[in-house]
Amino acid sequence: MRRLNFSRFPFAALLAICAACALTGGLGACNREDPVEPGATFGDGASPAAHRPTIAFIMKTLNNPFFVDMEVGAREAAERLGVELIVQAPERELDIERQMQMVENMIQRKVDAIVITPNGSAEIIPAIVKANAAGIPVLIVDTRIDAEAAREAGAMTVTFIGSDNHEGGRIAGEFLAGRLGDRGEVAVLEGIPGHETADARLGGFKEGIAEASAVRIVASQPANWERDQGFNVAQNMLQAHPDLNAIFAANDMMALGAIEAISAAGKSRQILVVGFDATDDAREAIGAGRMLGSVAQYPAAMGSVGVEKALEAVNGAAIDEEIGTKVEMIHEANLAD
Amino acid sequence: MPGPASQDAVLTLSGVRKEFPGVLALDGVDFELRGGEVHALVGENGAGKSTLMKIISGAYRMTRGEMRMEGREVRVRNPRHAQDLGISIIYQELNLVPHLTVEENIFLGREPRTPLGLIDAGQIRSKCERLLVDLGVGISPAVRVSTLGVAEMQMVEIAKALAFEARVLIMDEPTSALTDRETETLFATITDIKSRGVSIIYISHRLEEIFRIADRATVMRDGRIVATHDVEGLSTGQLIREMVDREVNDHYPKQPAPIGSVVLGVENLRAGTRVRGVSLELRAGEVVGLAGLMGSGRTELARAIFGADPIDSGRVTIHGVDLTPSSPNAAIRAGMGFVTEDRKGEGLVLQFSVCQNVTLPAIRSMSRAGVIDRAAERAAANRAIADLHIKTPTAEAQVSNLSGGNQQKVVLSKWLGIGARVLIFDEPTRGIDVGAKIEIYTLMNKLAGEGVAILMISSDLPEVLGMSDRILVMNEGRIAGELSRAEATQEKVLALAVDPVAGAA
Amino acid sequence: MSTSRREWLLLHGRELGGIGGLILLCFGLWILTPYFLTVSNLVNVAQQTAINAIIAVGMTYVIITAGIDLSVGSILAFSGVILARALNADAPLPVALFAAIGAGAALGVVNGMLITYGRLPPFISTLGMMSVARGLALIVSDGRPISGFSESLRFLANGDLIGIPMPVVITGIVMIAGQFCLKRTWFGRYVYAIGGNEEAARLSGINITFVKVAVYGLAGALSALAAIVLTARLNSAQPTAGAMYELDAIAATVIGGSSLMGGEGSVVGTLIGALIMGVLRNGLNLLDVSSFVQQTVIGSAIIAAVLIDMAIKRRRV
C-alpha cells in the first residue's frame, strides 16, 4: 500500500534550510561592507595594516531603548575609527546562556576584542575565561562583573566602562527627598535581584534619602526591569499603601509602568515618580508632568567609549581599570538642556 | 422496487485507473450511471468500491481515465467542485458538524446572503423547512445536530445533498447503523428522490437490501468491474459467487465444540445506567450470542466485564476466582480479550504497522529486560497473518492501508497472541465482506475447539442464530431471556428483545 | 532494492532527510563564512546545542503521547537551584546531582499525576507547573543567582572524555538511550500507542497512567540533567534560567518531525531538529545578522518545516 513514505522530512528540512540560507546569505552579504577574503582572516600572517580590526559588542538585549542608544554610539565610533563592528544581543535580557553562546561564537569568529554588557555578573565569567584563553581582550560596559568570582576563576577584563549607579541612586534619593519636603512614604521598584546595577542604584537611593529621616521606604520589590511588571507591582503597592507619596523605580521602563498604574488608580500627579536612565519616553513623561524626574545616563557615550577603548586594547595601549560616564538628574527644569 | 429508469447516462467513467504508491487500487474501471436509477455497487472490502466513489466525489484524483457528466468531460478538483457539478456523497460516518443546527449544516459554506452580505436567516429557514417537508421528515431546522439520532442525521445529509441540487447521490452503507423501521423510512425516501430524477449509487453489504431497492447492480473485485446486472432475475448466489470468486455454500459454518466447565462468571453486575444487574456464565468451548436492540446495554455490559468502564456493584469471576477487573489491564492478565465494535476508534493504532498492532497486548511478554525480542514479535505477526489470511503486503505495512475486513482480522489477532481464555466479540463482522466474515467464523470455531469461551455481541440475527450455542437476549440493561441453539428463531429473539414479558410468555 | 533495505529507508527516511538538510545548511554556511566549518566551531555548536537537545528528548516522549510540557524551562531553573543549594551545603557531588535530578523528576511526576488522576489537559497542568516551579526556584534561591562551584561540577561542562567535551558526551548518551528506549522497548511502543490511539491502547491492556506519569517524570528528569550542564557551564544557578526553553524544545521536536497530534516522532529526528536550530543560531551570529532578523529566520524555519510536512502528507493521500 502506501509504501514509500520516506518523503516526509527531507523536503521540509530542505526548504526551511534553503529559506534560512537565502535570507542569511543576502543579509550577511549586505552587513559586511567589506567582505573579508577567507585567506585574510584565516592566516596568522595577515599584517595588522591589511587587517581591519573586528570588535564584537554583545549587549544585554536590543528591545530596550537604552541599549539601542548604546548601539548607535558604538556604531558611530566604529565608523569614525574604521573598525568592523559586530553587535549581537539575546532576545531576552535574562538569557545569560544565550549571551555566553554569543561570546563563544565570536571567539570562533576570531574577533579582535569583545565588549560585553553582562546579563549576569557572575554567570558571564566562564565566557570571559574562554575569551581570555583565546587571547581576546574583554571590556565590560554598564554592568559590573562579580569581582570576587572573577578573581577566583582568573577572568581578566581590560576595563569597566559605565555610569556610577550608586551615585545615580544617591542623587535620585536626595532629589526626591527634597521634593517631598523631607517626609513621606516611598515605594521602590527594584531591578532583577542579584544584579550589580540594581543593587548599586538601590543602595545609592537609600543613602540619598537617609538624611531625611521622615522619608520612609514602605515597600521594595523587584519588577525585573520590565514595564508590564512595573505596572503590576506598582498596582499592588498602591493597593497595599493607600498613603503612598512617591515611587522610585530603578529604571525608566518600570517607572513608566508605575505611572500607568497610578493613572489607572486615578492618582495621577498625586504620587511622584522618579526613574533611572532618562529614556525618550521618560523625558516626554517628565515634560508632560506625569513623572518627576529621571537619572540620566549616557548609553551612547558608553557605546562609543567601549569601541574606542577596545581598539586601544587591540593596539596594546594602557587603559584605566575603570572609566566613568556621567550621571545627571533630569527634571522639568533642565529637560530642555 | 425496480422502476423505469431513463436510459441516458448521467455519469460515465471509462478506463479509470488509480495507483497508490505500491498498490494498484483501480484498474481500468468502466462504469455507467443512468438517470433516475438506483445502482448498487457490491464487492468485498478492498475491492475498490470506496476508492471509486472517492474519485467520483472529488476526494481522490484518478491516475488515468475519463469521467463524463451528462456527456461532458469533467475533471473533479475537490469535493466542493463535485458538489457544484451535482455530485454528493453521504459517508458511513456522517459528515455533519454536531454543534451546529440542522439548517446551519445544510447550508454550511453556501449560506444565502442578503444584499448587505449578511447571512439571510429567513431565507435559510424557509428553504430548509421546504426541503425537510418535501422529504417527509419531521425535524425542526433549528435543533442542533448533536441531539439527533443516526437516522435523522442521515436525513439531514440527504436534505443537504438536495439543497445542492445533486443529480448524483452516493450512499455508502447507509443502513449499517439503522433499525429496521428506520431502514424502511430511508427506502421510502430513496424511492421519492429517485422519482425526482436523482440517480443514486448505493453501496451495501446487505444483499437483501439490494434486491429491495436497486435497479441495477455492479460487482467489483480486485479493483476491476466483474459484471453489471439488472437486478430483476438476479440471484443472491450469483452475486456472492461473483464477489468472492468462489462458491459459498454455508454462510455460518458452525462446528460444535465440546463444552467444558464454567470459565467466566458474572454475578449481578451493575455499571452506569445501561447495565442493571446482569448475571451470566460462559463455559469453555462455548459460543454465546448476546442479542438485543441498540441501546439495550450489550456493549456497556461487555465493557464493564472487561474493566473498560467502572463497575458499580457485582462480581466477575474466572474459573471461580473473583477477578472483578479494575482495568482492561487486569482483565487481560486474567485471560480476557475484547474485540471492540469500533475498529478505528478503539481497536487499532492506525499509525502502527500490522505487526505492531497484532503484538500490542502481548509485547511486554515478548520483551526481555524491557527490550522487545524482534524475532519473536515478527514471528507472532507472521503467524497471525498466515492463520487469519490477513491480506497485507508485509507485516510492516501500515494498518490504515488495509481494507476493513483485514483490519478486523488484525484486531482479532491481537487477542490470539496472549492465550485468552475468554473472548468478547462486539459486532465482529459489521461492515466487512462475506469472505472475511466466513474466515472470522472459522476462527471462532477453532478457538471454541481449543476451549476458549466466546461471548459474541451482534445485531445481525442470522449470524447470532447461526454461530451461537446459546443466545442471551438483553433488554433495558438486563438479560431478558435465554434460548438454546435448538429453540432459537429470529422471532423468539426479537420478541425478547422488544418486550421481555411477551417474549417469555 | 531489497525488501529489508526498502523497509529500512521507510523507517529512517525522515531522519536521513533531516541529516541531508542539515548537511545542506552546513554547506551553505561553509560558502558564506570561513569561520563556520572548523573543528573548534563544530565542537562549539555541539556544546551549545546540548542543553536544548537534552530537554527536547523528554519533550519528544511527551509530544509522542499527544501531550505537551510547558514546564520544562521552569523545572530546569528549580533543579538548578536545588543543585546549587545542595553543593553550597557541602553535599558530595553525586548526592547533589541526585537531588537535582530527583527534584526535576518529582515535579514531572506531579505533572503526570495531574494529567492522569486529575484529568487535566497537559497544556493546563504544565502551564500551572511552569509557574509553580518558577516560584519554587525563586523561593529556594531567595531570588538570587547562586554562583561559584567546585571544579568537579565544572568538569561536566568544561571537561572532556577522550577529547569530546562532556556536554556532548552527556547529550550523546541521552540520545542513544532515548532512541533505544523509544524504538526497542515495550515502554517506547506503549508511548507511541498512547499517542496513536489512547483508547485502543487502554483496551489493549496498557496502563496509561503509569506510562504518562513516567513520560512526564522523564521530561522533568531530563530538564534537571540540562540544568546540571547549564549550571556547570555558567558556574551559577539562576532562578530565572530556562525561560522560554520549553518553546525551543518544542521547536526542535517539531522540526524533527514529531506531530503535536501524537503518535509520531523520534529522538534522532529531534536531535537533528535541535542541531538545525543550533547551527542556524551559530551561523547567523558568525554572519553578523541582527538578532531581530535571527528570530525571524528561526521562526520561518519552524513554520516552513511544518508546512512542507503537511503538504507532503496531503499529497500522499
Cβ distance B356 to C263 less than 8 Å, yes or no, reads no
What was the pLDDT predicted at B205?
Answer: 75
CATH of the domain at C242: 1.10.3470
Looking at this predicted complex, what is its ipTM?
0.87
- Contact of C291 with chain A, judged by CB distance below 8 Å, is answered with yes
B176 close to B431: Cβ distance less than 8 angstroms: yes
Cell numbers at residue A203, please? Answer: 543602595
**Beta strand pairing status for B224-230 and B216-221?**
antiparallel
Domain span at residue B390 reads 262-504
Chain A nearest C-alpha distance from C9 (Å): 7
B106: CB partners within 8 A, 6+ apart: B128, B131, B141, B156, B159, B160, B163
Same domain, A178 and A288: yes
Q: CA C87, C91, C95, C97: dihedral to nearest 10 degrees? A: 0
What was the pLDDT predicted at A28?
Answer: 39
Hey, how many other C-beta atoms are within 10 angstroms of the C-beta on B423?
25
Q: Which of A106, A86, A100 is nearest to A28 (CA)?
A: A86
Residue C94, burial from CB neighbour count under 10 angstroms (0-12, 13-18, 19+): exposed
- Partners of residue A224 in chain C, C-beta under 8 Å: 240
pLDDT at residue B249 greater than cutoff 70: no
- Partners of residue C190 in chain B, C-beta under 8 Å: 363
Same domain, A96 and A192: no
What are the φ/ψ torsions at residue A267 (nearest 5 degrees)? -115, 25
- Looking at beta carbons, which pairs linking B245-252 to residues 24 or more positions away fall under 8 Å? B245/B221, B246/B435, B248/B434, B248/B438, B251/B434, B251/B437, B251/B438, B251/B462, B251/B466, B252/B441, B252/B462, B252/B463, B252/B465, B252/B466, B252/B467
Q: CA C182, C186, C192, C197: dihedral to nearest 10 degrees? A: 180
Residue among B329, B346, B363 whose CB faces C189 most closely: B363
Same domain, B423 and B340: yes
- Partners of residue A146 in chain C, C-beta under 8 Å: 147
Radius of gyration of chain A (CA): 23
Three-state DSSP class for A185?
strand
Task: Report the C-alpha gap between C66 and C262 in whole angstroms.
Answer: 4
Cβ distance B351 to C192 less than 8 Å, yes or no, reads yes
Same domain, A195 and A80: no
In a domain, B251, yes or no: no
pLDDT at residue C214 greater than cutoff 70: yes
pLDDT at residue B505 greater than cutoff 60: no
In a domain, B255, yes or no: no
Cell numbers at residue A50, please? Answer: 591589511
Cβ distance A3 to B393 less than 8 Å, yes or no, reads yes
**Confidence bin at B497 (pLDDT 50/70/90):** confident
Q: Which of A118, A128, A122 is nearest to A158 (CA)?
A: A128
Three-state DSSP class for C299?
helix
In a domain, C214, yes or no: yes
Subunits that touch chain C (at least 3 Cβ pairs < 8 angstroms)? A, B
In a domain, B467, yes or no: yes
In a domain, B4, yes or no: no
**Confidence bin at B341 (pLDDT 50/70/90):** confident
- Partners of residue C199 in chain B, C-beta under 8 Å: 345-346
In a domain, A330, yes or no: no
User: Which sign, positive or negative, has the C-alpha torsion B198, B199, B204, B206?
Assistant: positive
- Partners of residue C168 in chain A, C-beta under 8 Å: none
Percent of chain A with pLDDT over 90: 57
- Contact of B401 with chain A, judged by CB distance below 8 Å, is answered with yes
Residue carrying the nine cell digits 442470522: B462
Domain span at residue A293 reads 165-298
Same domain, A192 and A269: yes
Least confident of B161-170, C82-91, C246-255: B161-170
What are the φ/ψ torsions at residue B113 (nearest 5 degrees)? -110, 150
What was the pLDDT predicted at B177?
Answer: 72
Q: Is C22 left (phi over 0), alpha (psi -120 to 50) or beta?
A: alpha
Cβ distance C285 to A3 less than 8 Å, yes or no, reads no
CB pairs under 8 A between B and C: 82
Domain-ending residue, one of B211, B244, B277: B244
- Contact of B346 with chain C, judged by CB distance below 8 Å, is answered with yes
Task: Report the C-alpha gap between B356 and B351 in whole angstroms.
Answer: 9
- Beta-bridged to residue A114, according to DSSP, are A56, A138
- Contact of C234 with chain A, judged by CB distance below 8 Å, is answered with yes
What was the pLDDT predicted at C163?
Answer: 86
Residue among A6, A42, A96 whose CB faces C238 most closely: A96
pLDDT in tens, C13-47: 666 777 888 888 899 999 998 999 998 899 999 99
Mean pLDDT in residue range C197-216: 95
Cβ distance C200 to B346 less than 8 Å, yes or no, reads yes
Task: Report the C-alpha gap between A66 and A61 in whole angstroms.
Answer: 9
- Find the residue in C nearest to B396 (Cα): C7
Same domain, B221 and B267: no
Residue type, A121: S
Chain B nearest C-alpha distance from C72 (Å): 27
Number of domains within chain A: 2
What are the φ/ψ torsions at residue C197 (nearest 5 degrees)? -160, 95
pLDDT in tens, A261-296: 999 888 888 999 999 988 888 999 999 999 999 999
Same domain, A90 and A184: no
CA A264 to chain centre: 29
Chain A nearest C-alpha distance from B339 (Å): 25
Number of domains within chain B: 2
Domain span at residue C207 reads 13-316
pLDDT at residue B293 greater than cutoff 80: no
CB pairs under 8 A between A and C: 229
- Contact of C10 with chain B, judged by CB distance below 8 Å, is answered with yes
Subunits that touch chain A (at least 3 Cβ pairs < 8 angstroms)? B, C
In a domain, A276, yes or no: yes
Percent of chain C with pLDDT over 90: 66
H/E stretch holding B138 reads none
Write the DSSP string, B242-278. Answer: HHHTS----S---------SEEEEEEEEEETTTEEEE
C222 close to C102: Cβ distance less than 8 angstroms: no
Same domain, A292 and A305: no
A111 close to A139: Cβ distance less than 8 angstroms: no
Residue among A8, A15, A125 whose CB faces C13 most closely: A8
Cβ distance C309 to A9 less than 8 Å, yes or no, reads yes
A121: CB partners within 8 A, 6+ apart: A143, A144, A145, A146, A149, A194, A195, A196
In a domain, C143, yes or no: yes
Same domain, A260 and A285: yes
Chain B nearest C-alpha distance from A15 (Å): 24
Cβ distance B397 to A4 less than 8 Å, yes or no, reads no
- Contact of A3 with chain B, judged by CB distance below 8 Å, is answered with yes
pLDDT at residue C215 greater than cutoff 50: yes
Count of all residues that appear for chain A in the document: 337
What was the pLDDT predicted at B174?
Answer: 85
- Partners of residue B333 in chain C, C-beta under 8 Å: 205
- Contact of C22 with chain A, judged by CB distance below 8 Å, is answered with yes
In a domain, A289, yes or no: yes
pLDDT in tens, C117-146: 999 999 999 999 999 999 999 999 988 888
Q: Residue B346 carries which DSSP code?
A: I
Same domain, B217 and B280: no
pLDDT in tens, B411-422: 999 998 888 899
**Mean pLDDT, chain A, integer:** 84
In a domain, A62, yes or no: yes
Q: Which of B359, B441, B364 is nearest to B395 (CA)?
A: B359
- Find the residue in C nearest to A85 (Cα): C288
Hey, how many other C-beta atoms are within 10 angstroms of the C-beta on C159?
15
Mean pLDDT in residue range B254-269: 89
A241: CB partners within 8 A, 6+ apart: A185, A187, A218, A219
- Partners of residue A41 in chain C, C-beta under 8 Å: 34-35
Residue among A17, A101, A106 whose CB faces C25 most closely: A17
- Contact of B397 with chain A, judged by CB distance below 8 Å, is answered with yes
Mean pLDDT in residue range A73-85: 95
CATH of the domain at A290: 3.40.50.2300
Residue among C34, C240, C305 whose CB faces A41 most closely: C34
**Residue of B45, B60, B391, B398 to mutate, testing the A interface (most A Cβ within 10 Å of its Cβ):** B398
In a domain, C5, yes or no: no
Same domain, A286 and A169: yes
**Residue of C63, C116, C119, C203 to mutate, testing the B interface (most B Cβ within 10 Å of its Cβ):** C203
- Contact of A1 with chain B, judged by CB distance below 8 Å, is answered with yes
pLDDT in tens, C263-299: 989 999 999 999 999 999 999 989 988 878 888 888 8
Cβ distance A123 to C44 less than 8 Å, yes or no, reads no
Residue carrying the nine cell digits 499517542: C195
Cell numbers at residue C51, please? Answer: 542543553
Number of domains within chain C: 1
Determine the angle formed by the axes of helices C208-234 and A96-108, rounding to 10 degrees.
Answer: 60
A144 close to A203: Cβ distance less than 8 angstroms: no
